[in-house]
């Protein structure tokens, strides 16, 4: 399904099929790299399903879709500039196909916003970051699998270092007045997310 969505997205621009295939293969290859247990194509598929539910509230669907495909395209757990590098690649590919400046700038803004998931004045940014965080509010078994996969991605780090960093991330989300910025995701996931995060601290991060 993801490939079909991507082909349809690029079909709105003046781009030859060979370029579409090249760009998709790049996305598929990047998200299938060794060590990607969570930040992979399955995550993109899940994120797409969350975004489809709120499509009617999205103003620039094209930018949201570009953000979907490129927000994790560069992912190295030992680096702190993944979002910046992912945004750079998204901008480069969008320029190649002739996307307009508004679409490019919004896509870049959305991808960079996934670094902190802070509230933004642009509703599309908030919708995307909320969807990206929807995993936090899923059923406990789904959340447990997410935690397991994140730990695998950081397997190069010993427990004491991983737990210290993970606890910092978890507390960052819990310190927010609201984890989710949009009404749909607040209703759907806020309560469960806080419960999952608190339980992770108590049972997994001591």
- pLDDT number for residue 206: 85
pLDDT digit string (tens) for 74-126? 999 999 999 999 999 999 999 999 999 999 999 999 999 999 999 999 999 99
| Closest of 190, 187, 170 to residue 179, by C-alpha | 190
| Closest of 150, 4, 170 to residue 77, by C-alpha | 150
pTM score, two decimals? 0.97
- Domain boundaries defined on the chain: 1-132, 138-206
Q: How far apart are CA 28 and CA 119, in angstroms?
A: 30
Could you tell me which residues come within 8 angstroms of residue 56 by beta carbon, excluding any fewer than 6 positions away? none
| Closest of 146, 142, 149 to residue 35, by C-alpha | 149
Q: What is the DSSP letter of 6?
A: H
pLDDT digit string (tens) for 163-180? 999 999 999 999 999 999
Mean pLDDT in residue range 23-41: 98
């Amino acid at each position: 399904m993801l490939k079909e969505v991507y082909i349809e997205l690029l079909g709105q621009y003046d781009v030859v099929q060979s370029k579409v295939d090249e760009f998709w293969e790049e996305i598929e290859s990047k998200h299938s790299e060794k060590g990607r247990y969570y930040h992979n194509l399955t995550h993109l598929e899940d994120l797409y399903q969350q975004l489809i539910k709120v499509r009617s509230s999205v103003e620039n669907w094209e930018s949201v879709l570009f953000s979907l495909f490129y927000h994790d395209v560069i992912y190295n757990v030992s680096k702190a500039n993944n979002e910046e590098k992912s945004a750079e690649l998204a901008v480069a590919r969008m320029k190649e196909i002739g996307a307009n400046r508004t679409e490019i700038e919004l896509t870049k803004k959305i991808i960079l916003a996934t670094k902190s998931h802070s509230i933004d004045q642009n509703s599309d940014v908030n919708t995307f970051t909320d969807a990206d965080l929807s995993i936090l509010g899923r059923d406990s078994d789904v959340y447990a699998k997410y935690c397991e996969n994140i730990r695998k991605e950081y397997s190069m780090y010993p427990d004491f270092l991983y737990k210290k960093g993970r606890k910092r991330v978890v507390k960052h989300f819990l310190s927010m007045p609201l984890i989710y910025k949009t009404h749909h995701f607040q209703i759907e996931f806020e309560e469960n997310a806080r419960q999952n995060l608190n339980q992770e601290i108590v049972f997994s991060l001591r």
